Structure 1
């Protein structure tokens, strides 16, 4: 433990660096952490002194993360994310966890992906693949994921593990598909179970895709994109048909009114 204490930098300096690297600004990091910019700068200098290298390029126009600073950020952000998800599970908190965004500014209308997996390391791995392209909501308990959905949560896609404590992925998928407001949300299984019987049961439960671990990130992203594009296209067609149906209904009502007026004119 003494060796660990000597090797580890202060936690406050790590948090200050993580915020500054993620947000791209010492001032924004200070605002998020509710401290002064000078305090953030001081903590980062402490971390740099501990590491023996400069993490940021400081210029007259501001600061820019160096290449090794970027690698260090990616390492500690993953670890902090794992700690956050694990702490959420240990505390038994209810509700969904929104994992941190990518350090760059992201659009407000990113598709939302709900991940349900009782292994925090699996969630973190998926988050690293999806971040920047999707807003990720994570749940470590199937029952809490279902409660979140029933209370108004409406993701664009749901990714489920199969083997989980309590309700398994198959049961959760079947339950989701019984809800009219959720039945058309695509559900994908991502699991270590790779037998034909397991895959067949997944599709029988209502899944649109079944992917076995270990997965190839590029292929996973492609298959996920296909399902979201398909759902968005289907939703757009449904909306178009509904609007045309409403228009036809109004035309029918006008025709009935015209007929009544014509009938009233007859001697």
Structure 2
């Protein structure tokens, strides 16, 4: 029983996943559960991190179950249905009545981290460290991670392993950096490759930081926070410079207009 409890994901994550899969929409699931869409998304991502795989194909206009997700939903839905029927039988009720859903606690807006590692065990360890500080999206397939980004995923930070099947982390980093809009997103390598040559290759590929395993959780969190803060500060400075540049352009246009008016009067 203890082993079963350790392997069971949180009930709120299961409820959010079941509702989203059944209704085909995170928004509809949020309405049914009486929570925000962000809360549903966060609970499902927590479940995906627990499982070490993606359950949905997320697109700009649709959310569809992947094959593994469909299998998991069929098992979960049947199990929840059996529990509901047995509960009615125990209570001596012949017909199902509307049962209240379990509300999920509100969650704060946390930075979003994309973790790409083809070993589910590694993802679970990373998730255990990050879950109280970040929203985590986990991908075990580099190509799936790339598709998620191209379909509109906007993480605040990306963590990559180096050795992965299909596409290694260096190649994935270079591919991400080549896409418009991802040149400023912090990318960190978290890998067992700890030679100076490997680290140098990581920075040449476009990494913002390179962290070797085994890692110290507190130091990992600190280095992630440095990158998050640096990105936010850079964005604020760029916005400030842009606004000042706009004001300067308007002032120069005003001066040109005044000079033209003066020239017209003198002429």
Q: TM-score, normalised by structure 2?
A: 0.65
For the residue of structure 2 that corresponds to 1:263, the secondary structure is: helix
Question: Could you tell me which residue of structure 2 aligns to residue 98 of structure 1?
Answer: none
Of 52, 63, 70, the residue aligned with 1:85 is 52
Any gaps of 5 or more consecutive residues in structure 2?
20-46, 57-65, 70-103
Over aligned residue pairs, what C-alpha RMSD do you find? Answer: 3.1
1:211 and 2:211 aligned: yes
* Length-normalised TM-score, structure 1: 0.65
Q: Deviations over 1:144-177 (max 9, x none)?
A: 1111112221111100000111111000111111
Q: Cα–Cα, structure 1 residues 185 and 9, in superposed 2: closer, same or farther, change >3 Å? A: closer
Residue matched to 2:75: none
Q: Is 2:158 aligned against 1:158?
A: yes
8 Å contact kept, 1:112–1:155: yes
Q: Provide the C-alpha distance between the structure 1 equivalents of 2:148 and 2:114, rounded to a whole number of angstroms.
A: 10
Does residue 255 of structure 1 match 2:255? Answer: yes
Q: Which runs of 5+ in 1 are unaligned?
A: 1-6, 24-28, 35-79, 94-102
**Per-residue deviation at 1:196?**
1.3
Cα deviation, residue 105, structure 1: 3.9
Query: Structure 1 residue runs of 4+, over 2 Å off?
Result: 7-11, 29-34, 80-93, 103-106
Deviation at 1:85, TM superposition (A): 2.4
1:265 partner SS = helix
Matches within 5 A, 1:228-267: 228-267=228-267
* CA deviations over 1:43-62 (Å, ceiling 9, x no partner): xxxxxxxxxxxxxxxxxxxx
Task: Check conservation: 2:162, 2:170, Cα contact below 8 A.
Answer: yes
Measure, in 1, the Cα distance between the counterparts of 2:174 and 2:195: 20
User: Higher RCO, 1 or 2 (CA under 8 Å, sep at least 6)?
Assistant: 2
| Aligned counterparts, 1:94-243, within 5 A | 105-107=106-108, 109-243=109-243
Contact 1:81/1:124 (<8 A) preserved: no
List per-residue Cα deviations over 1:79-111 (Å, max 9, x = no partner). x76763258599467xxxxxxxxx86421x211
Give the aligned partner of residue 76 of structure 1. none
Q: 1:123 to 1:31 in 2, by over 3 A?
A: closer
Give secondary structure in 2 for the equivalent of 1:144.
Answer: helix
- Asked if 2 retains the 8 angstrom alpha-carbon contact of 1:82 and 1:121, the reply is no
Deviation at 1:257, TM superposition (A): 1.2
2:200 alignment partner, SS class: helix
2: distance between equivalents of 1:9 and 1:177?
42
